[in-house]
Structure 1
Amino acid sequence: MTTYIPSLTLPSFLFENAAASILLPVAAGTAIGFSTRPKETQKTYLALRQPPLRPPPQVFGPAWTALYGLMGYAAYRAWNTGMSSFDAKTVVLAKQGATLYTLQLALNLIWMPLFFRLKRPIAATVDIVALTGLTGYLTYVWGQVDEVAGYCLVPYLAWLGFATYLTVGVGYLNDWDLSSKEVPKDAKRSDTKYVDEKP
């Protein structure tokens, strides 16, 4: 059982306002995406050996924008429902969820730099496993405060499960070493998208 830790929790005004709650994760995720140099990230992604079912790189931006928006809306719903409740347990759960939410957002935002910028797939795997577990617990906690908030986190949790599979798969297929995977495509492979596809 976690507890509410004000020093590790986003300020309450970010939860109280729907626009702020939704825009915060969307803006933070977008900023991280651009700070990791999208063109280089895409080159790295295409150069990696990938497990089956890997999506094309163009899917990630829209998918994460929608998931961040749902995540922010869940935060708004859970906080406002919880803090306006007359049930002390519901208030406690809303506050605990706010701390969990802040921690999971931090774990979410460091995955991309760990994987693409620092090229540390083991650290990125540890991060995403912790993130998925924390988000599962957050879904449970906030689902007790407000069912809609809990349901809003389910697609995010499902995507994290899939992202964990991709992270582990890429790490394993590339011998847990991404440092030398940005290779230029030679003329024979110019019609392929991924390094492991056959022409």
Structure 2
Amino acid sequence: MTTFIPSLTLPAAVFANPAASILLPIGLGTAVGFSVRPTQSQKTYMALKQPPYRPPPQVFGPTWTVLYGLMGYSAYRAYSTGMSPLASTEKHLWTKHGATLYTIQLGLNLLWMPLFFVAKRPVEATIDIVALTGVTGYLTYLWGKVDPIAGWALAPYLGWLGFATYLSAGVGYLNDWDTKGKEIDHPPSSKLEETKFVDEE
């Protein structure tokens, strides 16, 4: 019923330490974001045909910082509760299984941006985020049984992933699943232009 894979799981010390648990996803997410070059990814994002309700690019950084923090807090909360000597054997198993799922979802999360913006592979990026949403949904359920607060801390992240899946699939579909060579060829000259997508020009 439950599977704990040590080779696919972050060290227990990360989950057990609140600062490490919270700062790790924030730090990794920030590092991947900067490695993809924010200006370059913004130019690509603005040049693609977008589905309705797409947010301006400035929204993503702050949103992901908050969600990564909640993700890390959920991990700490679930692990500290589920691995407590007072917890049942069943909760121990759920917690350890969740730790493996958490590590896998973090890897899938960090993979999406390079797939979409660097490799320019919207099909693979959409498959990745669909898998990420599925794994996170199960993780939310599992850790919610260990500790309700841990489950609720993942709820905003899961909701955002649903929206991000819609955006990823919508962009892929509207651009014929081909984003190569699509990039605005000039830097924005004003705040208004920064939020103006190619299909609004």
What TM-score, normalized by structure 2, do the two folds share? 0.94
Secondary structure, aligned partner of 1:75 = helix
Secondary structure, aligned partner of 2:199 = coil
- 2:197 is matched with which residue: 179, 188, 194? 194
Is 2:11 aligned against 1:11?
yes
- Identify if the C-alpha distance between structure 1 residues 168 and 2 changes in structure 2 by more than 3 Å, giving closer, same or farther: farther
Secondary structure, aligned partner of 2:181 = coil
8 Å CA contact 2:46–2:184 kept in 1: the answer is: no
Secondary structure, aligned partner of 2:120 = coil
Task: State the 4+ residue runs in structure 1 displaced beyond 4 angstroms.
Answer: none
Q: CA deviation at 1:2?
A: 4.2
1:142 corresponding residue in structure 2: 143
2:116 corresponding residue in structure 1: 115
8 Å CA contact 2:129–2:161 kept in 1: the answer is: yes
1:48 corresponding residue in structure 2: 48
Partners of 2:181 and 2:20 lie apart in 1 by 40
Deviation digits for residues 98-141 of structure 1 (CA, Å, limit 9, x no counterpart): 00000000000000000001000000000000000000000000
Partners of 1:39 and 1:62 lie apart in 2 by 16
Partners of 1:95 and 1:43 lie apart in 2 by 41
Structure 1 gaps, min length 5: none
Partners of 1:153 and 1:103 lie apart in 2 by 15
Partners of 1:134 and 1:79 lie apart in 2 by 18
1:160 corresponding residue in structure 2: 161
2:37 corresponding residue in structure 1: 37
Aligned length: 195
Residue type matched to 1:66 in 2?
V
Is 2:172 aligned against 1:171?
yes
2:101 corresponding residue in structure 1: 100
8 Å CA contact 2:2–2:93 kept in 1: the answer is: no
Partners of 1:194 and 1:4 lie apart in 2 by 44
Q: CA deviation at 1:180?
A: 1.8
Partners of 2:2 and 2:32 lie apart in 1 by 27
Deviation digits for residues 57-93 of structure 1 (CA, Å, limit 9, x no counterpart): 0000000000000000000000010000331000110
8 Å CA contact 2:36–2:114 kept in 1: the answer is: yes
1:58 corresponding residue in structure 2: 58
8 Å CA contact 2:94–2:142 kept in 1: the answer is: yes
2:26 corresponding residue in structure 1: 26
What TM-score, normalized by structure 1, do the two folds share? 0.95
